[in-house]
């Protein structure tokens, strides 16, 4: 993009850790935005860190703001994404975490990058989210993954899986990861799943420590409806479904766990020249070919 943006009202969202670096970065972002004449609304965490009384729940920020700046790690952005995706406002991440696959702006370069964004010099992409439905419970969203997993036991769990109306199979394992392309660099990666380019319309189903070694990760269309049913031989107290590692649901035997693409995609902003493969090389320690 090369035209000036229309970002007028900015949400500042931060993780709750009161570290000196977070406080400095948050205060610096607020000064930059106020100097530019932008209206600013603070999340409750941000307001608490700045000793201000005007903090708002993250979900409500989408009703009044046209851009959200998220200061923290990937976990902070995951939570913000689930809360704000239906508002349609884009998210921009400042990296104070460890990996930073999603929050890709260094605090040292923050003001320069924000200036470029406000001048229209940025890239935008859309990322799919998943919606997990279990009968009798509130649906949960996930940007990375929906994970069926055992809970406080050493025994495997038994379940069956369908893709749309096709029976995929029954297995015993420690669980199953249903991952978006965004989540393919998270738990699914450590489970042996493939890396998916963020723009792919696809989902990865990655078994966790399957009893049968021929049970391998499989990639299906992003429009697929994934249905998982726990076997009656599995104690329901020993199973959980977790969304992005942050929201947990119970999974009773005989009740369908349905995972499908959420209707609204997340808008994610990056600095100009954003290179997903360069991020993979850096974060995963891949070597580069010699000149």
Sign of the alpha-carbon torsion through 147, 152, 154, 159: negative
At 186 the three-state DSSP class reads: coil
Are 106 and 95 in contact by the 8 Å Cβ rule? The answer is yes
125 phi and psi angles, rounded to 5 deg: -135, 165
Q: Which two tokens stand for residue 207?
A: 């078994």
- Cα–Cα distance, 70 to 81 (Å, whole number): 10
Q: Which two tokens stand for residue 152?
A: 């406080």
Cβ-based neighbour number of residue 208 at 10 Å:
20
- Cα–Cα distance, 254 to 288 (Å, whole number): 49
- Cα–Cα distance, 179 to 168 (Å, whole number): 16
- Cα–Cα distance, 29 to 12 (Å, whole number): 8
Is 74 among the residues known to form the active site?
yes
Distances (CA, A) of 127 to 42, 141, 180: 24, 13, 9
DSSP bridge partners of 77? none
Distances (CA, A) of 254 to 141, 148, 228, 230, 284: 22, 14, 9, 6, 40
- Cα–Cα distance, 1 to 123 (Å, whole number): 7
Catalytic annotation, pick one of 24, 48, 74, 86: 74
Q: Which residues are catalytic?
A: 74
């Amino acid at each position: 993009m090369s035209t000036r943006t229309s970002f007028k009202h900015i949400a500042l969202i931060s993780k709750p850790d009161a570290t000196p670096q977070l406080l400095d970065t948050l205060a610096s972002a607020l000064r930059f935005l106020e100097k530019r004449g932008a209206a600013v609304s603070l999340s409750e965490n941000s307001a608490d860190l700045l000793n201000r009384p005007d903090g708002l729940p993250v979900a409500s920020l989408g009703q009044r703001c046209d851009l959200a700046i998220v200061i923290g790690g990937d976990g902070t952005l995951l939570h913000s994404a689930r809360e704000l995706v239906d508002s349609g406002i884009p998210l921009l991440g400042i990296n104070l975490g460890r990996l930073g696959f999603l929050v890709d702006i260094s605090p040292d370069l923050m003001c320069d990058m924000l200036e470029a964004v406000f001048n229209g010099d940025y890239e935008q992409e859309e990322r799919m989210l998943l919606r997990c439905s279990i009968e009798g419970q509130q649906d949960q969203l996930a940007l990375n993954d929906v994970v069926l997993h055992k809970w406080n036991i050493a025994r495997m769990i038994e379940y069956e899986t369908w893709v749309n109306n096709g029976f995929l199979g029954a297995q015993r394992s420690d669980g199953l990861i249903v991952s978006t392309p965004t989540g393919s660099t998270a738990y699914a990666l450590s489970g042996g799943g493939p890396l998916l380019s963020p723009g792919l319309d696809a989902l990865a189903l990655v078994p966790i420590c399957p009893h049968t070694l021929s049970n391998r990760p499989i990639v299906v269309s992003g429009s697929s409806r994934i249905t998982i049913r726990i076997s009656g031989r599995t104690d329901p107290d020993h199973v959980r479904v977790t969304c992005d590692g942050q929201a947990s649901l119970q999974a009773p035997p005989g009740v369908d766990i349905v995972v499908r693409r959420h209707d609204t995609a997340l808008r994610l902003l990056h600095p100009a020249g954003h290179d997903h493969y360069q991020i993979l090389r850096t974060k995963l320690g891949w070597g580069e070919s010699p000149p």
